[in-house]
């Protein structure tokens, strides 16, 4: 009996030893695999140029911000373009602004230290300035927008404007009854690039409060713009609510008729087909609710990287002034997104517009996440491609129309 028990004990001991060794082998295999994954993406993650982390401190003294900046003044910083990150924002949105900054700094700017420029229709307060300066890895600029660039112009018929506000409210149109939203859309369409604080920059990257960037940027988008001669960059393209722009397209057609030849517009080589394509193909079953030849596709302008010199050009200024005189920013609710999109699609060569395929981004309620599994791993993306709200695979995305009618689907390294 005793020897039987001893035998059993031996068997158990040998089995658990085997199990432990197998587990060990298995664990070793897993960590080996995980090490392989890390090292195979090393060159892409550019760990070699990543700067030292900023020291954290819970004390405040006047020199703290400067010290932190000097600490980050690393000689391995990559070459920078003449560009700024740009945020139009209100003082009370400071927490949302910080969230967006934190995300963009971590995913991109901490390696480049591009300047941040903040615009506001009223002066920024001390809390906003201190918090955003502390969050930025680069220099910060703060500017107040002149009244004539922001307010409703005197020539707008106030009675007609008030009627429109009321009507749009009754029809439950998003921001239908907001006066300030209209000022904002007109400003972002025709005045942001005229602000003195931007005079010395060539490119801007628009950032809004409460947005998130899901992946490490695999490149500097400003460098891509410069080297590949791009004038407008986007990540999300969707359909606009027609109720906000009932007469916009007819005004654009009128502009093309009157000014097209004089300005030398080349619609054949522009992205005109992208905004006028109504074909239903593939899984794209969305029936566009448009009463005009404009299919309502627009680049979602809360994310955009643009060439300021395009906006400063005679072409763009003429385009904006022509539309502004129609009063549609106030009598309707023309958004800066369709304005930028229509301008880019008729004034530029289609190859001057770029879709940044590799950038993961969210502005509620939509997000975009890189399709490639490889990209998601190499860029440490924190997003689910097939998950809810990935607008690129939803019926309301215009991306497939862009692939078809824009400059086609190309990865940056192929451009
Ligand atoms: N300074 C200032 N910024 C504004 C005003 N209205 C909107 N913005 C900014 O303009 C951008 C778009 O406004 P938002 O409320 O996000 O509109 P949505 O993205 O269309 O829902 C954001 O960066 C806002 O912070 C305003 O009255 N004053
Ligand atoms: Mg927003």
Tens-place pLDDT, residues 236-285: 999 999 999 999 999 999 999 999 999 999 999 999 999 999 988 666 56
Taking residue 53's Cβ as centre, other Cβ atoms within 10 Å add up to 9
Asked if residue 185 has its Cβ within 6 Å of ligand 1, the reply is no
Asked if residue 209 has its Cβ within 6 Å of ligand 1, the reply is yes
Instruction: Indicate the top mutation candidate among 90, 123, 176 to test ligand 1's pocket, ranked by most ligand atoms within 8 A of CB.
Output: 90
Answer yes or no: are the C-beta atoms of 344 and 271 closer than 8 Å.
yes
| CA-wise closest residue to 271 among 392, 353, 357 | 353
Asked if residue 89 has its Cβ within 6 Å of ligand 1, the reply is yes
* CA distance to 150, 154, 197, 265, per residue, from 121 (Å): 7, 18, 14, 34
Ligand 1 atom having least distance to the Cα of 121: 1
Distance, CA of 214 to CA of 108 (rounded, Å): 11
Give pLDDT tens digits for 185-242.
999 999 999 999 999 999 999 999 999 999 999 999 999 999 999 999 999 999 999 9
Packing angle, helices 314-324 and 248-259, rounded to 10:
130
Asked if residue 244 has its Cβ within 6 Å of ligand 1, the reply is no
List average pLDDT for each run of 10 residues in the chain, which is 415 residues long.
Answer: 68 71 68 67 55 34 38 59 98 98 98 97 98 98 98 98 97 97 98 98 98 96 96 96 97 98 97 94 69 97 98 98 98 98 98 95 96 91 88 88 83 59
Q: Which ligand is nearest to the CA of 337?
A: 1
Eight-state DSSP code of residue 92: G
Measured by CA distance, the residue closest to atom 1 of ligand 1 is: 120
Q: Output the CA 364–ligand 2 centroid distance in Å.
A: 8
- Beta strand 297-299 with 366-368 is unpaired
| CA-wise closest residue to 208 among 350, 351, 355, 100 | 100
Distance, CA of 96 to CA of 212 (rounded, Å): 10
Asked if residue 88 has its Cβ within 6 Å of ligand 1, the reply is yes
Class of the CATH-defined domain 146-190+211-414: alpha beta
Answer yes or no: are the C-beta atoms of 244 and 173 closer than 8 Å.
yes
Instruction: Indicate the top mutation candidate among 86, 87, 88 to test ligand 1's pocket, ranked by most ligand atoms within 8 A of CB.
Output: 88
Distance, CA of 18 to CA of 364 (rounded, Å): 53
Ligand 1 atom having least distance to the Cα of 145: 1
State the sign of the Cα–Cα–Cα–Cα dihedral 392, 394, 396, 402.
positive
Ligand 1 atom having least distance to the Cα of 363: 19
Q: How are strands ordered across the β-sheet holding 366-368?
A: 212-213, 361-363, 366-368
Asked if residue 100 has its Cβ within 6 Å of ligand 1, the reply is no
- Beta strand 212-213 with 361-363 is antiparallel
Answer yes or no: are the C-beta atoms of 105 and 135 closer than 8 Å.
yes
Active site residues: 304
Ligand 1 atom having least distance to the Cα of 180: 27
């Amino acid at each position: 009996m005793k020897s039987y028990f001893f035998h059993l004990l031996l068997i158990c001991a040998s089995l658990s030893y085997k199990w432990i060794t197998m587990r060990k082998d298995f664990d070793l295999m897993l960590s080996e695999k995980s090490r392989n994954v890390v090292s195979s993406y090393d060159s892409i993650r550019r760990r070699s140029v990543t700067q030292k982390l900023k020291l954290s401190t819970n004390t405040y003294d006047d020199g703290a911000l400067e010290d932190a900046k000097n600490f980050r003044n690393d000689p391995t910083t990559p070459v920078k373009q003449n560009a700024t990150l740009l945020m139009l924002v209100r003082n009370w949105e400071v927490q949302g602004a910080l969230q967006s900054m934190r995300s963009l700094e971590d995913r991109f700017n901490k390696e480049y230290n591009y300047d941040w420029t903040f615009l506001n229709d009223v002066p920024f307060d001390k809390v906003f300035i201190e918090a955003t300066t502390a969050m930025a890895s680069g220099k910060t600029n703060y500017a107040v927008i002149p009244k004539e660039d922001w307010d409703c112009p005197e020539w707008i018929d106030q009675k007609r404007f008030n009627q429109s506000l009321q009507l749009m409210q009754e029809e439950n149109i998003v921001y239908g009854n907001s006066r300030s939203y209209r000022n904002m859309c007109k400003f972002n369409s025709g005045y942001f690039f005229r602000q003195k604080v931007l005079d010395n920059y060539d490119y801007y990257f628009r950032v809004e409060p409460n947005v998130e960037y899901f992946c490490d940027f695999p490149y500097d988008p400003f460098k891509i713009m410069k080297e590949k001669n791009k004038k407008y960059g986007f990540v999300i393209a969707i359909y606009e609510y027609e109720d906000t722009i009932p007469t916009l397209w007819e005004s654009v057609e009128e502009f093309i008729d009157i000014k097209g030849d004089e300005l030398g517009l080349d619609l054949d080589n522009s992205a005109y087909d992208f905004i006028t394509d109504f074909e239903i193909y593939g899984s794209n079953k969305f029936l566009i609710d448009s009463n005009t030849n404009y299919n309502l596709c627009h680049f979602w302008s809360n994310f955009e990287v643009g060439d300021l010199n395009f906006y400063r050009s005679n072409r763009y200024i003429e385009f904006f002034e022509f539309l502004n005189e129609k009063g549609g920013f106030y009598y309707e609710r023309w958004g800066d997104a369709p304005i930028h999109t229509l301008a880019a699609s008729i004034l530029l060569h289609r190859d001057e517009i770029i879709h940044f395929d590799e950038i993961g981004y969210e502005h509620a309620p939509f997000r975009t996440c890189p399709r490639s599994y490889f990209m998601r791993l190499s860029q440490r993306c924190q997003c689910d491609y097939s998950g809810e709200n990935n607008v690129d695979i939803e019926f309301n995305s215009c991306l497939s129309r862009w692939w078809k009618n824009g400059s086609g689907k190309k990865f940056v390294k192929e451009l």
